[in-house]
């Protein structure tokens, strides 16, 4: 069943992902549900270049599972398969989620280490991450500060201002922005002057002291 963004191919007893699914829907499908089949491989996913969510519950996928490169994938569900994770290994090398120079030249070792801390915070049972063994010290660091290692970049919106359009901010109070309609403004000041020339002393005569 095809929707605008999601494809469901459920309970068809398929051992492989049908080629026609990729040819027909691979360029626009955002979500793909392949639950309740007999899949042993996900090689047919290579045509789903826009995929963001993949559900392959209740299949026959095992420890030899290899996931094709899916640059936009952020959610993967593998419930009730035959994955035992006896070695507790996870490798994400070559994916955008794994920040190293295989993905982008502007990434460095610090970016990669932050990624490891975040993944180990989420999956503390891992013994190997990518091609490197997880150390006890690394796991302790992940539990202590791994939750804060996910980097989120703010979305910047370009704003242009013309000469006739006022700026959205001014340090002046509302009442004093228009020179033709000037009003006095009362406000608190963080500084207090106690000298002999203060406003209070200007109106006190010597015979009143």
| Phi, psi of 2, deg, nearest 5 | -105, 135
pLDDT at 158: 46
Q: Which residue has the tokens 């979500």?
A: 31
pLDDT at 204: 55
- Give the start-end residues of each E strand in 159-201: none
20-78 tens-digit pLDDT: 999 999 898 999 999 999 999 998 999 999 999 999 999 999 878 888 888 888 888 88
Mean pLDDT of 166-185: 53
- CB 61 within 8 Å of CB 78: yes
- List the Cα angle 85/34/22 in 5-degree steps: 115
pLDDT at 182: 53
147-171 tens-digit pLDDT: 887 755 555 554 444 445 555 555 5
Instruction: Name the percent of the chain lying above pLDDT 90.
Output: 29
pLDDT at 171: 53
pLDDT at 2: 45
pLDDT at 39: 95
Mean pLDDT of 182-187: 53
pLDDT at 55: 92
Asked if residue 192 has pLDDT above 60, the reply is no
pLDDT at 15: 94
pLDDT at 79: 85
Mean pLDDT of 187-206: 54
* Top-confidence residue, 124 or 202: 124
93-137 tens-digit pLDDT: 767 777 876 666 777 888 889 989 998 988 888 888 887 899 999
Asked if residue 177 has pLDDT above 80, the reply is no
Domains with residue ranges and CATH for the chain: 1-84 (3.80.10.10), 85-157 (no CATH)
Instruction: Name beta bridge partners: 129.
Output: 90, 132
Number of Cβ within 10 Å of residue 25's Cβ equals 20
């Amino acid at each position: 069943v095809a929707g605008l963004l999601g494809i469901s191919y459920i309970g068809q007893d398929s051992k492989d992902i049908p080629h026609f699914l990729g040819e027909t829907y691979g360029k626009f499908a955002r979500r793909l549900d392949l639950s309740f089949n007999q899949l042993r491989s996900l090689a047919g996913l290579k045509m789903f270049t826009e995929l963001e969510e993949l559900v392959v519950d209740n299949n026959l996928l095992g420890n030899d599972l290899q996931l094709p490169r899916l640059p936009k994938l952020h959610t993967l569900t593998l419930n009730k398969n035959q994955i035992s994770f006896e070695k507790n290994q996870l490798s994400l090398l070559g994916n955008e989620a794994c920040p190293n120079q295989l993905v982008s030249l502007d990434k460095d070792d610090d970016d990669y280490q932050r990624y490891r801390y975040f993944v180990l915070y989420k999956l503390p049972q891992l013994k190997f991450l990518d091609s490197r063994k997880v150390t006890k010290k690394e796991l302790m660091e992940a539990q202590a500060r791994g939750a804060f290692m996910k980097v989120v970049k703010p979305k910047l919106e370009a704003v242009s201002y013309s000469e006739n359009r006022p700026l959205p901010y001014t340090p002046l109070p509302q009442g004093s922005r228009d020179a033709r309609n000037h009003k006095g403004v009362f406000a608190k000041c963080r500084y207090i002057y106690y000298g002999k020339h203060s406003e209070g002393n200007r109106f006190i005569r010597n015979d009143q002291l």
